[in-house]
A and B are shown apart, each in its own frame.
Chain A
């Protein structure tokens, strides 16, 4: 299965600023997924990132707040823009390299605290 390097692992940011999270995959994958996990909660899909096209956002998430880049088949970034304390969460990227027959691989997560 794929191996994902996600960074930063954690950050403390001032409100109103932006943070960009990076995920590097050791193999080419068509789709990358970005999730948010609010404190004590489950994972919620933010968007699906395909190479060469605009990301597809889930209900409640917009591009202006969470712009995503997918410049090639092994890399993606998620930016959390104009942050507020409510954005404090763990953000995770994920890929599926097994054509849905196997589990998804997740990055180690970025723990974001906005003060």
Chain B
């Protein structure tokens, strides 16, 4: 399967703490993306990192990519209760423009 694998599957932290989520994949990629989903609704794109990039920042988000290990991590700093959601990594290989999703991580941020 080309599906990505995230870990942990579930994460519970206190507001203000940092949350780190990891994603691994099996094939060569063009880019890797992270999405957030609130309460089973539509997905919101958070950040995209290209295969030739190693680190990217967007606000409180920091994503890293290690193509040699076929892994990525998403760090959310100074978490808020509103960050409570499911987070998915998704990778794009360039083949038929398809995006393949990982299994997802459930993040709970306690106020």
Q: Which residues of A come within 8 Å of B, CB atoms?
A: 1, 4, 6, 31, 33, 37, 41-45, 48, 56, 90, 92, 94, 96, 100-109, 111
Contacts and interface: CB of A to CB of B under 8 A. Distances in A.
Give the interface size class of chain B.
20 to 34
Given A103-B33, A108-B41, A109-B42, A56 B96 contact: yes
A107 B44 CA distance: 9
Given A56-B96, A103-B33, A42 B102 contact: yes
Interface of B: 3, 30-31, 33, 35, 40-48, 88, 90, 92, 94, 96-104
Given A41-B103, A42-B3, A48-B97, A111 B40 contact: yes
Contacts of B101: 42-44
A103 B45 contact: yes
